[in-house]
């Protein structure tokens, strides 16, 4: 509503092409939305303090605002020639198509929206018994948006006449009460907590002075209203800076925020049968018959022939690798058979991912030769470490897959295939004997 009111009389359709405003965030963001939606003006520029939080700067850029930062006080006096407020005014004087609504001096803001000046003036005229409480920032402190009493001095709005009392509130209480309100379902920012704290302070003073009953209405109740005039999201970092760590629930497994940073895809985790078809050649009949004649105990492992454009990385320990391995594979001993899954133990994930990240970030000559221009199959004991390795390899630009279940599933396939091979061998030997005779 403030943005709509400020632009309604300022924008000249067909002529205005740029809007510039000094703002801590909320007002100028709203201006940019209103300007685009109602007037087709896309060039909205925000002049603001270089002390603005990174989160708010990102939010303003998200909404398409062109930002210009200014040094000095975060809340400059409207008449300070060195500040951003006067800079915005000067820019608007350079061309007819540029306007500066100037929320600090624009009468449309005071008369038509809910500032303490506008509301205080209206309610006093409508109901003289209303008590009007103004809140300012405690001296030497800063709450995003509100001003200190000293900084209000040059403001030309008749704010003094619109208030019956002034309370001074600091940033800690403002952020703290805002946090409490948000957790109770009233989503509001630090300026809202600031207003509520001012109300609480004044009520406590009235209690001490014995004047609390003076605020009661005919029903003997004291009806209080405070303004919620902002949202918390752009100030998230400041909540953590201002308030104690104990105010925020701890993150379990927080060490995982520094590792396992890359994406996963279910399509990269393959079953054994798919892997056999995609990564290995099927021997022709004569080759198979020759192998059958040469070995009485032919197994699936003996039949597998890796395709020419693939590489196989086996993450198991050397003893297990030498005991049983897929033909053509390279041993990279990272997984331990005794370790739990990296997905169930953060310490294992941290250790495994860090080693994989270091290994695949700076390849030695041998590993570079193995991986370069190849499709890679990664194998481990249970499939979980190889799943992590696939994620890292994909992030480094390699085409990699893993076997779901790892060697455990591969062994099951081996046993099932052993039976089929054995049955096939018996029949094949009979055919061989007949062919020989």
Report yes or no: 398 and 327 within 8 Å, Cβ to Cβ: no
CA angle, residues 198, 147, 215, in degrees to nearest 5: 25
Joined together, the tokens standing for residue 182 give 């948000």
Q: Where are the domains of the chain?
A: 2-108, 114-247, 257-428
pLDDT of residue 387: 97
**Of 203 and 109, more confident:** 203
Q: What is the pLDDT of residues 273-329, one digit of tens each?
A: 888 888 888 665 445 545 545 555 555 566 678 888 999 999 999 999 998 888 889
Question: Alpha-carbon distance 215 to 314, whole Å?
Answer: 79
Domains 2-108 and 114-247 share a fold: yes
pLDDT of residue 114: 46
Displacement of CA 212 from its chain's centroid (Å) = 46
Question: Alpha-carbon distance 87 to 309, whole Å?
Answer: 64
pLDDT exceeds 60 at position 266: yes
> Which of 49, 125, 117 lies closest to 80 in space, CA to CA?
49
> Which of 330, 306, 301 lies closest to 318 in space, CA to CA?
330
Report yes or no: 27 and 2 within 8 Å, Cβ to Cβ: yes
Question: Alpha-carbon distance 11 to 92, whole Å?
Answer: 12
**Would you say domain 2-108 falls under CATH 3.90.110.10?**
no
Question: DSSP E strands: which ranges in 142-296?
Answer: 165-169, 269-270, 280-281
| % the chain with pLDDT above 70 | 86
Joined together, the tokens standing for residue 305 give 């022939």
Q: What is the pLDDT of residues 172-205, one digit of tens each?
A: 999 999 999 999 999 999 999 999 999 999 999 9
Cα dist from 204 to 96, 198, 201, 211, 361, whole Å: 52, 10, 5, 10, 62
Q: For 114-247, CATH number?
A: 3.40.50.1100
pLDDT of residue 295: 55
Q: What is the pLDDT of residues 367-425, one digit of tens each?
A: 999 999 999 999 999 999 999 999 999 999 999 999 999 987 876 665 555 555 555 55
Q: Which CATH number fits domain 257-428: 3.30.460.10, 3.40.1830.10, 1.20.1250.20, 3.40.250.10?
A: 3.40.250.10
Q: What is the pLDDT of residues 226-241, one digit of tens each?
A: 999 889 988 998 999 9
Q: What is the pLDDT of residues 332-356, one digit of tens each?
A: 999 999 999 999 999 999 999 999 9
Query: 275-279 long-range contacts, Cβ below 8 Å, gap at least 24?
Result: 275/377, 275/401, 275/403, 276/304, 276/413, 279/306, 279/307, 279/310, 279/312, 279/375, 279/377
Displacement of CA 285 from its chain's centroid (Å) = 57
């Amino acid at each position: 509503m403030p943005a709509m009111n400020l632009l309604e009389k300022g924008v000249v359709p067909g002529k205005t092409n740029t809007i510039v405003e000094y703002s801590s965030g909320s007002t100028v963001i709203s201006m940019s939305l209103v300007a685009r939606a109602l007037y087709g003006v896309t060039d909205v520029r925000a002049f603001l303090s270089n002390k603005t939080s990174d989160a708010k700067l990102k939010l303003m850029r998200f909404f398409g605002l062109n930002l210009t930062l200014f040094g000095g006080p975060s809340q400059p006096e409207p008449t300070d020639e060195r500040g951003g407020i006067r800079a915005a005014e000067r820019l608007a004087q350079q061309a007819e198509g540029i306007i500066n609504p100037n929320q600090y001096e624009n009468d449309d803001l005071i008369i038509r929206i809910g500032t303490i000046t506008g509301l205080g003036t209206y309610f006093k005229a409508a109901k003289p018994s209303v008590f009007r409480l103004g809140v300012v920032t405690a001296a030497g402190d800063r709450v995003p948006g509100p001003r200190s009493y000293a900084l209000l001095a040059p403001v030309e709005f008749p704010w003094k006449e619109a208030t019956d009392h002034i309370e001074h509130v600091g940033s800690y209480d403002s952020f703290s009460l805002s946090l409490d309100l948000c957790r109770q379902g009233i989503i509001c920012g630090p300026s809202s907590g600031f207003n509520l704290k001012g109300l609480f302070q004044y009520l406590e003073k009235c209690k001490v002075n014995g004047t609390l009953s003076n605020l009661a209405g005919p029903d003997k109740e004291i009806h209080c209203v405070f303004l919620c005039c902002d949202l918390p999201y752009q100030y998230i970092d400041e909540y953590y800076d201002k308030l104690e760590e104990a105010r925020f629930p701890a993150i379990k497994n927080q060490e995982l925020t520094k590792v396992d940073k890359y994406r996963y895809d279910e399509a990269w985790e393959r079953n054994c049968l798919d892997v056999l078809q995609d990564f290995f050649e099927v021997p022709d009949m004569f080759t198979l018959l020759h192998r059958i004649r040469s070995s009485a105990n032919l197994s699936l492992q003996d039949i597998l022939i890796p395709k020419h454009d693939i590489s196989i990385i086996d993450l198991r320990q050397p003893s297990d690798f030498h005991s049983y391995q897929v033909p053509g594979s390279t041993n990279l001993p990272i997984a331990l058979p005794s370790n739990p899954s990296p997905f169930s133990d953060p310490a294992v994930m941290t250790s495994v991912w860090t080693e994989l990240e270091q290994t695949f970030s700076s390849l030695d000559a041998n590993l570079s030769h193995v991986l370069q221009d190849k499709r890679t199959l990664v194998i481990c004991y249970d499939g979980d470490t190889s799943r992590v390795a696939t994620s890292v390899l994909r992030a480094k630009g390699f085409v990699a897959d893993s076997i779901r279940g790892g060697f455990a599933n591969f062994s099951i396939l081996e046993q099932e295939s052993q039976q089929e091979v054995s049955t096939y061998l018996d029949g094949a030997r009979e055919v061989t004997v007949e062919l020989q005779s």
